[in-house]
Chain A
Amino acid sequence: MDGDLLTSLYVFLLAGFIGFEVIRRVSPLLHTPLMSLTNALDAIAVVGAIIVAGEAKSTLATVLGTIAIVAATSNLVGGFLITDRMLGMFKASTPRK
């Protein structure tokens, strides 16, 4: 139990460091798509919701889990869609002369 917790803390801290290092390199040009992308990735919470809804251990859990899946899925679909749309608009200038 304690070992699990410690591993989770390691994972959290290391992921946080990776996040800082990777995201610091993102140009301000792309900060809006960055936020919509991290938002879409955050929708991975849907996996937790799927298990809660699917276990069918109590009616309350199934109802809450189902609403949670709807919320996360709409973020997932909408987030990836808009990120890709925005990035599609960023075009380099055609080299002149």
Chain B
Amino acid sequence: MIRTEHVVELTYLTATVLFILALKWMSSPSTARRGVRVGEVGMVLAIAGTLLHREITDYTWIAVALVLGTIIGVPLGLVRMTAVPQRTALSHAFGALCVTLVGTAKFYLQAPSVPRFTMAVLSLEVILGSLTFTGSLMAAGKLQELLPQRPITYRGQNLVNLSLLALAVLIAAGLVDDPGRTWLFPWIILIPLVFGVLMIIPIGGADMPTVISLLNSYAGLSAAAMGFVLDNKLLIVAGALDGASGFILSVNMSKAMNRSFTNVLFGAFGQEQIRPDAGDEAQTVKSATAEEAADILEAASKVMIVPGYGMAVAQAQHKVRELYDALTRRGVDVKFGIHPVAGRMPGHMNVLLAEADIPYDRLLDLDEANAELPGADVALVIGANDVTNPSARNDASSPIHGMPILDVDKARTVMVIKRSLSAGFAGIDNPLYYLDHTIMLFGDARSFVGEIVRELTGGSKH
């Protein structure tokens, strides 16, 4: 005789396998959508199994909540691609909210007779959950530009933050010692909620890719802790997978920005640094018109386009696609070199270009692009700055020294579309602009690319 509990466990086991397969199939764009399908099947199975649970006596609120969640979820699944980073941050907040609320409910249902280990994991669950909740909301607010993007710092900031976290851990220890001290419990929610806000305040816009990944990791770990509390293996697995994924991405992002984890969290990098020497000012740059740029591109056989977030800000990706089409039709080999931090979250630039219908096999990552750049006739930089700065490679005194960059200066000709010679995020002058084989194309990315396309397609009107 098969009992209901066994059926439930079997659906969880199947879902576990399907979740792992889902991530495995994410390794290639050709199988990735299959991964989404099996993930969905696993999810539906697990939820259906859960609804069979005998402890459930009332389905009214469950039904209401499922419907309400769907109503909120659909628009969140339909946001513009440029808004994906803030949507992702928001979903980390929702995930963390769910975990914190369930942890809280569990505590008050069981207190004062909570086993010590359960109490310890439960504390971890609500502390991580609460700080991820407010931290993610802050990150979403900054990305949506509802909050100031600039880092806000003050003296002793790190000390204040760390003391708060330490205090929360101390209170949690008091609860583990005696879970009957229920009056302590609200504090391990409230303090981390405040900590989450303070943690994000000093972090600037350029560090968002790392922060989002880190919050992703926290959200996953808090869900895994919830799995321990509920003794639910499926939840432990899903949380561990999410935690691992967020961790890998955070490490990737920190490496791509040449910074350590702690530096991102405690460094407040985004402030403009004042360069001591103004000697560079006298250097001259070469500039060209759209017509001249079109001639150079037309004569090339290999072109590498290097897009930065400035391209997305100028909404130029569709014009860039037209440029890609025009050049490809003339037999020019066009590829895109994409820096890991080009965008507001890991992989963001790829999604923006894919949305503009640029085939994914034309999108090269850092290593692939650097292998091809020395053989390229033209490197066309659109809205990127620091990630192309050669001083990261050869100027030991530069603040970005050691940061992996796209070696656009190794291409035969470098063209940079830029509004002016102003410094990038890191506030550092870019010697690339003064090289002999660099041509500056001054103007708005979108209209300039549009003009080049007009020249190339022959419909010149000026």
Which residues of A does B touch, CB under 8 Å?
1, 4-5, 7-8, 11-13, 15-16, 18-20, 22-58, 60-62, 64-94
Contact = CB atoms under 8 A, between A and B. Distances in A.
Contact of B77 (A37, A78, A92): A78
A33 B355 CA distance: 13
A18 B102 contact: no
The 5 closest A-B pairs by CB, nearest first: A73-B69, A81-B77, A19-B244, A77-B73, A31-B347
B72 A61 contact: no
B268 interface: no
A26 B242 contact: no
Contacts of B47: 46-47, 50
Give the interface residue-count category, chain B. Answer: 35 or more
B163 interface: no
B57 A29 contact: no
Interface stretch (B22-30, B145-153, B308-316, B383-391): B22-30
Nearest to A57: B109
Nearest to A29: B350
A27 B27 contact: yes
Interface string B200-228: 00000000000011001001100110111
B94 A74 contact: yes
Given A45-B235, A51-B53, A64-B104, A37 B98 contact: no
Contacts of B24: 22, 25
B241 interface: yes
A62 B245 CA distance: 32
A93 B361 contact: yes
B329 to A, nearest CB: 10
A77 to B, nearest CB: 3
23 contacts: A29-B347, A29-B365, A31-B249, A34-B26, A35-B347, A37-B26, A38-B241, A44-B235, A49-B101, A51-B53, A54-B56, A61-B108, A62-B58, A67-B65, A70-B69, A70-B72, A72-B69, A72-B94, A73-B72, A78-B87, A80-B43, A89-B355, A92-B359
Interface in B393-442: none
Nearest to B29: A90
Contacts of A28: 252, 338, 340, 346-347, 350, 365-366
A54 B91 CA distance: 24
Interface in B66-91: 66, 68-70, 72-79, 81, 84, 87-88, 91
Contacts of B72: 70, 73-74, 78
B98 A46 contact: yes
B345 interface: yes
B50 A47 contact: yes
A79 B354 contact: no
B94 A71 contact: yes
Contacts of B29: 29-30, 87, 90, 92
Given A11-B237, A66-B64, A91 B74 contact: no
Interface of A is mostly: helix
Given A44-B15, A77-B77, A38 B354 contact: no
A90 B36 CA distance: 14
B248 A47 contact: no
B168 interface: no
A16 B271 CA distance: 36
Contact of B76 (A16, A32, A74): A74
Contacts of A27: 27-28, 365
A77 B73 CA distance: 5
Contact of A48 (B28, B230, B348): B230
Contacts of A78: 72-77, 87, 91
Contacts of B98: 43, 45-46, 49, 68-69, 71-72, 75
A82 B79 contact: yes
A4 B230 CA distance: 11
B446 interface: no
B88 A1 contact: no
A27 to B, nearest CB: 7
A35 to B, nearest CB: 6
B164 to A, nearest CB: 24
B39, B245, B246, B355: residue with the most chain A Cβ atoms closer than 10 Å: B245
Contacts of A31: 249, 252, 345-347, 350
Contact of A39 (B79, B88, B109, B244): B88
B248 A23 contact: yes
B51 interface: yes
A73 B65 contact: yes
Contacts of A73: 65-66, 68-70, 72-73
B232 interface: yes
B43 A43 contact: yes
Nearest to B66: A73
Nearest to B77: A81
Contact of A22 (B23, B33, B78): B23
B408 to A, nearest CB: 18
